[in-house]
């Protein structure tokens, strides 16, 4: 098989890259290890920056988010069981949109189908070859038969555990990592959200987040030890603990119900640089992981796709500047998001060795956000997403 660009990974970043390139006449093939049903069953993030929404519209897949996305012009921060609002629209003139990653992925699959895009599922034993030459290729096995894709470029959109980053020789990539000593216990329930916008709550017992997927489906999180097991939590225990940590008025108005899904997600900060080796590019989680506190994971992947799609379109027009600059441009935005996510995590979470002084310092910084326009503007500017 021959394709101009071979994309490894059929999640939202790989599909979006394929869609953008196809619309510019660039032939792609997407290799995905799992089935489409499995990809669409994964529960992931649901907050889109304005730039991400713009990218989806530019790719011709903005109808779903336009019709069903919930536009938020702000969020709440809380401490000592009381909250206040950070007004994004007032401070930076734009907001964010709640629209699940599963829905984004489904919209992209539908768009690829409509354009006759090639997406190969159950592509196993993927091997990247000759990425440091002008003639890279990718081999894989499907249904027991080996296949080969000869291509001009390879995009590694296959996540933290994928083959792409591991295919780069030792010593070429430097990795930066911090594993956090806590996780998020998350639940999904078909109950109305407790508030119109997200609530980020600092509490001596640990962080809590109230968010949603729609006006009738809510997503809630509790900070728990990294070793915690989801099965240790009953529904009643979760709802009781959530009420303890969030603002009193929200706790009084909360509607509870049975869980659709329950899991514990670890938190880590991770960056691999550079994000390019020869004709292989790393995209999204293959190159970086951020704590979910700032909701930057999917949005960073989309900004990577912006830089890479622009670079490849330019390359086929004879200009290699974007290819040469891809890693530097992408990493500048990645490190900004890593810094913001770390700051927001440190502000809102209870650390294992945290004493009463540290708790009061967190509360004092949140109180400063409540009273300072400049502080709220800085937070809002980074939360809604810095320009690509």
Catalytic pick among 12, 22, 72, 288: 72
Same domain, 34 and 110: yes
Residue 220 annotated as catalytic: no
Same domain, 204 and 304: no
Same domain, 171 and 187: no
Query: From CA 297, how far away is CA 292, in angstroms rounded?
Result: 7
Same domain, 34 and 126: yes
> Dihedral through CA 46, CA 52, CA 56, CA 58, nearest 10?
170
Q: Token digits for 341?
A: 């996510």
Same domain, 272 and 262: no
Catalytic pick among 180, 296, 306, 329: 296
Q: Is residue 199 part of a domain?
A: yes
> Dihedral through CA 349, CA 186, CA 100, CA 109, nearest 10?
120
Same domain, 61 and 142: yes
Same domain, 21 and 128: yes
Q: Are 333 and 386 in contact (CB under 8 A)?
A: yes
* 37: CATH: 3.50.50.60
Q: Is residue 128 part of a domain?
A: yes
Q: Is residue 112 part of a domain?
A: yes
* 213: CATH: 3.30.9.10
Same domain, 144 and 262: no
Q: Is residue 25 part of a domain?
A: yes
Quick one: pLDDT at residue 227?
A: 96
Q: Are 96 and 208 in contact (CB under 8 A)?
A: no
Residue 377 annotated as catalytic: no
Whether omega for the bond prior to residue 46 falls within 30 degrees of 0, making it cis, is no
Q: Is residue 53 part of a domain?
A: yes
Same domain, 36 and 99: yes
Quick one: pLDDT at residue 43?
A: 74
Catalytic pick among 99, 109, 140, 200: 200
Quick one: pLDDT at residue 246?
A: 98
Burial of 313 (0-12, 13-18, 19+ CB in 10 A): middle
Query: From CA 91, how far away is CA 374, in angstroms rounded?
Result: 9
Quick one: pLDDT at residue 294?
A: 87
Same domain, 184 and 260: yes
Query: From CA 227, how far away is CA 138, in angstroms rounded?
Result: 38
Catalytic pick among 99, 140, 292, 306: 292
Q: Is residue 89 part of a domain?
A: no
The crossing angle, in degrees rounded to 10, of helices 50-58 and 297-315 is 40
Same domain, 220 and 197: yes
pLDDT, one tens digit for every residue, the chain (388 residues) = 999 999 999 999 999 999 999 999 999 999 999 999 999 988 777 899 999 999 999 999 999 999 999 999 999 999 999 999 999 999 999 999 999 999 999 999 999 999 999 999 999 999 999 999 999 999 999 999 999 999 999 999 999 999 999 999 999 999 999 999 999 999 999 999 999 999 999 999 999 999 999 999 999 999 999 999 999 999 999 999 999 999 999 999 999 999 999 999 999 999 999 999 999 999 999 999 999 998 999 999 999 999 999 999 999 999 999 999 999 999 999 999 999 999 999 999 999 999 999 999 999 999 999 999 999 999 999 999 988 8
Same domain, 163 and 184: no
Quick one: pLDDT at residue 131?
A: 98
Q: Are 218 and 212 in contact (CB under 8 A)?
A: yes
Which residues are bridge partners to 124 per DSSP? Answer: 141
Query: From CA 340, how far away is CA 382, in angstroms rounded?
Result: 7
The total number of structural domains in the chain stands at 2
Residue 366 sits in which domain range? 180-266+349-383
Residue 368 annotated as catalytic: no
Q: Is residue 18 part of a domain?
A: yes
Q: What is the arrangement of strands in the sheet containing 70-72, beginning at the earlier edge strand? A: 47-48, 96-98, 70-72
Global pTM?
0.96
Residue 291 annotated as catalytic: no
- 356-363: long-range contacts at Cβ-Cβ below 8 A with a sequence spacing of 24 or more? 359/204, 362/79, 362/202, 363/79, 363/80, 363/202
Catalytic pick among 99, 221, 307, 383: 383
Residue 229 annotated as catalytic: no
* DSSP class per residue in 314-343: HHTTT--HHHHHHHHHHHHHHHHHHHHHHH
Strands (E), 88-173: 96-98, 118-121, 124-129, 137-142, 145-150, 153-156
Q: Is residue 192 part of a domain?
A: yes
- The 3-class SS string of 218-238 reads EEEEEEEECCCCHHHCCHHHH
């Amino acid at each position: 098989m021959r394709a101009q660009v071979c994309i490894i990974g059929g999640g939202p970043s790989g599909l979006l890259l394929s869609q953008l390139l196809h619309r510019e006449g660039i032939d792609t093939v997407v290799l995905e290890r799992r089935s489409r049903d499995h990809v669409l069953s994964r529960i992931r993030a649901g907050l889109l920056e304005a730039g991400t929404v713009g990218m989806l519209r530019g790719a011709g897949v903005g109808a779903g988010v336009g019709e069903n996305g919930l536009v938020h012009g702000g969020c709440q921060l809380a401490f000592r069981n009381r909250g206040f609002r950070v007004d994004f629209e007032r401070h930076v003139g734009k907001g964010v949109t709640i629209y699940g990653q599963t829905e984004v992925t489904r919209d992209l699959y539908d768009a690829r189908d409509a354009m006759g895009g090639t997406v190969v599922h159950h592509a196993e034993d993927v091997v990247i070859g000759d990425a440091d030459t002008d003639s890279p290729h990718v081999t894989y096995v499907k249904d027991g038969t080996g296949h080969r894709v000869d291509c001009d470029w390879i995009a590694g959109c296959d996540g933290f555990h994928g083959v792409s980053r591991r295919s780069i020789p030792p010593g070429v990539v430097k990795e930066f990592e911090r594993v956090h000593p806590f996780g998020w216990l998350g639940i999904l329930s078909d109950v109305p959200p407790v508030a119109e916008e997200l609530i980020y709550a600092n509490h001596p017992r640990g962080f809590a987040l109230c968010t949603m997927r729609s006006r009738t489906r809510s997503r809630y999180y509790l900070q728990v030890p990294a070793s915690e097991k989801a099965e240790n939590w009953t529904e009643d225990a979760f709802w009781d603990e959530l009420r303890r940590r969030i603002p009193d008025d929200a706790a009084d108005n909360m509607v509870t119900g049975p869980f659709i899904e329950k899991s514990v997600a670890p938190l880590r900060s991770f960056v691999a640089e550079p994000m390019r080796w020869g004709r292989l590019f790393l995209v999204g989680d293959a190159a970086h992981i951020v704590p979910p506190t700032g909701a930057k994971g999917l949005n960073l992947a989309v900004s990577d796709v912006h830089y890479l799609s622009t670079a490849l379109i330019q390359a086929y027009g004879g200009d290699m500047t974007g290819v040469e600059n891809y890693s530097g441009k992408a990493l500048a935005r990645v490190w900004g998001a890593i810094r913001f996510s770390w700051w927001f995590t440190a502000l809102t979470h209870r650390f294992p060795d945290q004493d009463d002084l540290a708790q009061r310092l967190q509360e004092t910084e949140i109180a400063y956000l409540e009273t300072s326009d400049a502080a709220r503007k800085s937070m809002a500017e980074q939360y809604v997403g810095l320009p690509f």
